[in-house]
Amino acid sequence: MSSLAKPKLRRDQLAPGDVLCNHCTAKCCRYFALPIEDPTDFEDWEFIRWYLLHDAATVFKEDGTWYLLVHTACKHLERDNRCGIYETRPLICQEYSTDNCEYEDDWLYEQYLETAEQVGEYAEAILPRKKGQSIRSRKPPLLPILAG
């Protein structure tokens, strides 16, 4: 007998009356994303760099809006990917619909930044340069064998 997992059903393969959540890994309960102001200058990018110096945080841009994404599971998410406080869950959860949820795993972002280093490189690439400032990266230090 094979121990391979069954392939994931597509939405259009669900039986009538079946609930999409029966086949999901509860992605919607494993993070939250908050809109942030559009970064326009060096200081804004420094805030974003600071966000990403913290564990479990990323930043993305979708439909022209930037978001801080915090990868953390709801403390009431059960082992079976169900809500442990379903009857008293927060309003945002009550209003959430599977109509546009991330079940399909096919989301793409306009921008997605995972590390503070990526933020620094991205900001350096898009921010206007000061007069006389080179587009080249900073010169790396010499290797110890060459410096000595």
67-70 long-range contacts (CB < 8 A, ≥24 apart) are 67/33, 67/34, 67/35, 67/36, 68/33, 68/34, 68/36, 69/31, 69/32, 69/33, 70/31, 70/32, 70/33, 70/34
Q: How confident is the model at residue 3 (pLDDT cuts 50, 70, 90)?
A: low
What was the pLDDT predicted at 59?
98
Mean pLDDT highest for which of 5-19, 62-76, 128-142? Answer: 62-76
Instruction: Give the mean pLDDT of 22-30.
Output: 91
pLDDT, average across residues 89-98 = 93
Global confidence as pTM: 0.76
In the predicted structure, residue 7 carries a pLDDT above the cut 70: yes
pLDDT averaged over the chain? 89
Distance (Å) of CA 68 to CA 2, 10, 64: 41, 29, 14
CB atoms within 10 A of CB 27: 13
Q: Find the mean pLDDT for residues 28-37.
A: 96
| Res 147: pLDDT | 59
Average pLDDT over residues 52-73: 97
pLDDT of residue 88: 98
Sheet containing strand 111-113, strands side by side: 32-36, 65-70, 57-62, 111-113
